[in-house]
Amino acid sequence: MSKKTLSVCCAVLAASASMFGASVARASSITYVASGTGSDGALSASAQFTTSAGSIQIILTNTLAANLFSAPGQALSDISFTLSNAPGTLGTTSAVGQQGNISSTGVVTYTTGSPSHFLGQGGGGTFSINGNTILMEAIGGGQPSEMIAPFLANGGTYTSANGGTLNFNPYTIGPGTFTLNLSGVTAGTTVTSATFSFGTQPDTFIPGTPTTTTPEPSGLLLVGTGIAGAAAMVRRRIVHA
């Protein structure tokens, strides 16, 4: 191998090590899942939390199979979670998620809008911070809407849906993504607990179970350290060539 080739390899390895090191410091993520049975049938949901400097992103998903979704009581309407440290001052927030109406026969028609009720916006919903605990709820300020239903493509059909489902249009069809800018949140902030709620009251509360944490700082650090070590070895070979 020529010195020029070795030099290029060294540069690539060093850049990779730098990239992995930056990943360790930039953000961390944990996912909570919940499943059970409510008065309207099976329930299932997940919440992925990603923290970084001054921000937390929450992706809420109703993971129930679309063919089992039959009533509003199975829609995800609430998430309450506790942080490992005080969240600090709330700045800007955002909500993104496909809205859609469900007909009396279960047919989905996509509409415009976002699940802003989870942030206490748009004349409905509830959002609060109490100590280290944050509540995001589509319920409050009138008839519940924007609750999260399982994903279906536009024009698809929830084959088990009953006629009462349409009373709470629009729904969020598929995941809802929420970003909260909070001055006290860092990449080291973790979510220590989460509770999911379903239905229009809400009707059913289910504690979440943590399942994954990414990136794993120690694992990435080992990879980065290994790459850095390989880069150093290449440099030594160049010196002695």
The tens digit of pLDDT for each residue in 163-219 reads 999 999 999 999 999 999 999 999 999 999 999 999 999 999 999 999 976 554 544
Q: Is residue 154 part of a domain?
A: yes
- Determine the pLDDT at residue 212: 73
Give the bridge partners for 122, in sequence order: none
Write the single-letter amino acid at 18.
S
Distance CA 235, CA 231 (A): 6
Q: Is residue 219 part of a domain?
A: no
Q: Is residue 237 part of a domain?
A: no
Q: Is residue 10 part of a domain?
A: no
* Terminal-residue alpha carbon distance, the chain: 10
Q: Is residue 232 part of a domain?
A: no
User: Could you tell me if 126 and 137 are in contact, meaning their C-beta atoms sit under 8 angstroms apart?
Assistant: yes
Whether the model pTM is above 0.75? yes
User: What are the residue ranges in the chain where pLDDT is below 50?
Assistant: 3-6, 8-25, 216, 218-240
Distance CA 180, CA 90 (A): 7
Q: Is residue 14 part of a domain?
A: no
Sign of CA dihedral 139, 98, 62, 161: positive
Count of beta carbons in the 10 Å neighbourhood of residue 128: 12
- Determine the pLDDT at residue 142: 82
Number of domains observed in the structure of the chain: 1
User: Could you tell me if 63 and 149 are in contact, meaning their C-beta atoms sit under 8 angstroms apart?
Assistant: no
- Note down the domain range covering 197: 27-213
Q: Is residue 227 part of a domain?
A: no
Q: Is residue 238 part of a domain?
A: no
- Determine the pLDDT at residue 213: 65
